[in-house]
Structure 1
Amino acid sequence: MTEKGKYRVCGALAGTVNGLFGGGGGIPLVFLLRSWAKLSDKTALATCVAVIFPFCLVSVLVYAFRGALPLGEALPYFLGGLAGGWIGGRLFKDVPNTWLKRIFALFLLYGAVRYLL
Structure 2
Amino acid sequence: MQERTKCLIIGTCAGAANGFFGAGGGLFLVPLFTAWLGLEQKQAFATSVAVIFPLSAVSVLIYLRNGSIPLSFSAPYLLGGAIGGLCSGLLFSRVSVPLLRKAFALLLVWGGIRAVFLW
TM-score, length basis structure 2:
0.95
Name the amino acid aligned to 1:11: G
TM-score, length basis structure 1:
0.96
- In the alignment, what sits opposite 2:93? 93
Unpaired runs of at least 5, structure 1 = none
Name the amino acid aligned to 1:15: G
**Structure 1 residues 1-117: aligned runs within 5 Å:** 1-117=1-117
Query: 1:105: how far off?
Result: 0.8
RMSD: 0.8
CA distance in 2, matches of 1:53, 1:17: 13
CA distance in 2, matches of 1:110, 1:3: 32
Q: Deviations over 1:12-31 (max 9, x none)?
A: 11111111111111111111
* Over 4 Å off, 4+ runs: none
CA distance in 2, matches of 1:11, 1:41: 18
How many percent identity over aligned positions? Answer: 46
CA distance in 2, matches of 1:100, 1:13: 22
